Amino acid sequence: MLLIAKGYRIMARRCKKPVGEINIVARRQRDLDAAAEALTKHGKRRIVAAAEFWLASHPGDAERSVST
């Protein structure tokens, strides 16, 4: 997978929640500013809501830094 080749670690796939869906939850040590700039405000809200659901069931990851 391209993301793994670029140094990402896949945390989850196809995370569907009532408020939205995240296709891939991935993390990498580098900055996420460019990815965040590519999203619309509506898209950001849906991703944040879905991420909050995901983090609620993975509390160990809740303490990690996340950019929007």
The CATH number of the domain holding residue 55 is 3.40.1350.10
Domain that holds residue 16: 2-61
Does a structural domain hold residue 11?
Answer: yes
Number of domains making up the chain: 1
Contacts of 27 (CB under 8 A, 6+ apart): 8, 9, 11, 64
Does a structural domain hold residue 18?
Answer: yes
Contact 17, 49 (CB under 8 A): yes
Does a structural domain hold residue 12?
Answer: yes
Please state the rounded mean pLDDT for residues 43-67: 76
Contacts of 65 (CB under 8 A, 6+ apart): none
Please state the rounded mean pLDDT for residues 34-54: 78
DSSP 33: H
Does a structural domain hold residue 66?
Answer: no
pLDDT band at 68 (very low <50, low <70, confident <90, very high): very low
